[in-house]
């Protein structure tokens, strides 16, 4: 059994894995505001288009840099079969939907029709084993990362993969929890966090005195993780604190799950298991751990969290 102690910084990959050359500038180029992938400007009577592409070079988020390239309006590139193909895009974006149509028809031919009986059974009902709470970040797709097939996982995604407590009031996330646990009777709840999370960065940089935005009103759900991180990692750079909080917030969410009476009862009786997962898309690694439920040391919300089956996939 492993004991996770949020109030201390360890070298355990579950909490913080930094190299000696990490610096406070690691994430300075990551913005909370979503980048404009396509922007245009008028020059010499012509429209020029700027396309931003994310390039990675090493294991630091600071290596996610934007590189600009100019192409005629209405032309994008996609990688297919190791070759770059041009997709003609009209002003109304129909080129993108033509590509989407091609992907759908490919799915229908090679997945749906070849597994027709399975999909027909799914049309009658679902019985997933997993309920997954993941970040809405476009780079973090649980089905792609973990290979979930249709019918295997009931998935809800939100900013920073946070789980509000039972007393926080209704939200899409706890509505999904209620349905998946009480109606679908899933056997596992998996909370998946990830590297370079903008939602966690918003949480860590939040100023209590400024006017609240929709994002701030949501990420405040993770305030306990923020407090633990500030206490445990106060001597680290802001970027390293964000890395620490990305993992700490997962553990706080696991504890928040236990504030739902019908979840705690099932966990206590061994009917339901709750797990944490952390996907680092910079070096493509995944950590997984399972909450080791013990009524005596989990009643206190700010207590230490015990885990078991801690695995690291690389």
What's the rounded Cα separation, in Å, for the pair 161 and 171? 13
Q: Give dist(CA 289, CA 312) in Å, integer.
A: 9
The pLDDT assigned to 170 comes to 86
Q: How confident is the model at residue 212 (pLDDT cuts 50, 70, 90)?
A: confident
| Catalytic pick among 17, 26, 61, 135 | 135
Residue 208 lies in a domain: yes
Q: Tell me the average pLDDT across 190-206.
A: 96
* Residue 194 among the catalytic residues: yes
The answer to the question of residue 263 being in a domain is: yes
CATH number at residue 147: 3.40.1050.10
* pLDDT at residue 298, as a whole number: 60
Per-residue confidence band for 9, with pLDDT thresholds at 50, 70 and 90: very low
Please check whether residue 163 lies inside any domain of the structure: yes
- 83, part of any domain: no
Q: What is the pLDDT of residue 207?
A: 79
The response to whether 194 counts as a known ligand-binding position is: yes
135 is catalytic: yes
Lowest mean pLDDT among 7-11, 129-133, 151-155, 260-264: 7-11
Residue 116 maps to a domain: no
Q: Is 310 annotated as a binding residue?
A: no
242 among annotated binding-site residues: no
- pLDDT attached to residue 168: 86
Evaluate whether residue 181 is within a structural domain.
yes
Task: Give me the catalytic one of 197, 201, 224, 226.
Answer: 197
Q: Which residues of 224-247 are buried (b: 16+ CB within 10 A; e: fewer)?
A: bbbebbeebbeebbebbbbbbbbb
Do the annotations mark residue 135 as ligand-binding? yes
Task: For 178-187, write each residue's pLDDT tens digit.
Answer: 999 999 999 9
Number of domains in the chain: 1
Classify residue 139: in a domain, yes or no.
yes
For residue 303, name the pLDDT band (cuts at 50, 70, 90): low
Q: Show the domain range for 232.
A: 129-313
Asked whether the predicted pLDDT for residue 104 surpasses 90, the reply is yes
Please tell me the distance from the alpha carbon of residue 74 to that of residue 95, in angstroms, as a whole number: 9
What is the residue-averaged pLDDT of the chain?
Answer: 78
Q: Is residue 34 part of a domain?
A: no
CB-CB neighbours of 307 under 10 Å: 19
């Amino acid at each position: 059994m492993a004991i996770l102690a949020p109030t201390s910084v360890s070298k355990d990959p579950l909490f913080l894995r930094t190299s000696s050359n990490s610096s406070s500038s690691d994430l300075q180029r990551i913005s909370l505001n979503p980048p404009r992938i396509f922007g245009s400007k008028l020059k010499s009577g012509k429209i020029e288009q700027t396309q931003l592409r994310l390039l990675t070079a090493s294991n630091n988020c600071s290596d996610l840099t934007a590189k600009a390239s100019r192409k005629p309006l209405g032309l994008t590139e996609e990688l297919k079969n190791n070759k770059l193909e041009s997709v003609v895009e009209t002003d109304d974006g129909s080129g993108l939907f033509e590509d989407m149509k091609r992907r759908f028809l490919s799915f229908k031919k090679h997945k749906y029709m070849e597994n027709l009986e399975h999909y027909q059974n799914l049309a009658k009902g679902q019985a997933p084993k997993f309920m997954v709470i993941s970040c809405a970040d476009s780079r973090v797709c649980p089905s792609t990362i973990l290979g979930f097939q249709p019918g295997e996982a009931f998935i809800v995604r939100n900013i920073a993969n946070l789980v509000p407590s039972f007393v926080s009031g209704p939200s899409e996330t706890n509505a999904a929890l209620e349905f998946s646990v009480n109606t679908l009777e899933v056997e596992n709840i998996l909370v998946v966090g990830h590297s370079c999370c903008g939602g966690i960065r918003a949480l860590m940089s939040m100023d209590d005195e400024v006017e609240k935005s929709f994002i701030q009103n949501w990420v405040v759900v993770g305030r306990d993780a923020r407090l633990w991180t500030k206490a445990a990692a106060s001597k680290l750079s802001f970027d390293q604190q964000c890395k620490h909080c990305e993992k700490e917030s997962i553990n706080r969410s696991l504890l928040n799950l236990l504030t739902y009476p019908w979840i705690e009862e099932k966990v206590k009786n061994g009917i339901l298991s709750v797990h944490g997962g952390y996907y680092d898309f910079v070096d493509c690694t995944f950590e997984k751990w399972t909450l080791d439920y013990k009524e005596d040391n989990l009643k206190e919300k700010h207590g230490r969290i015990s885990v078991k089956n801690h695995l690291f996939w690389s």
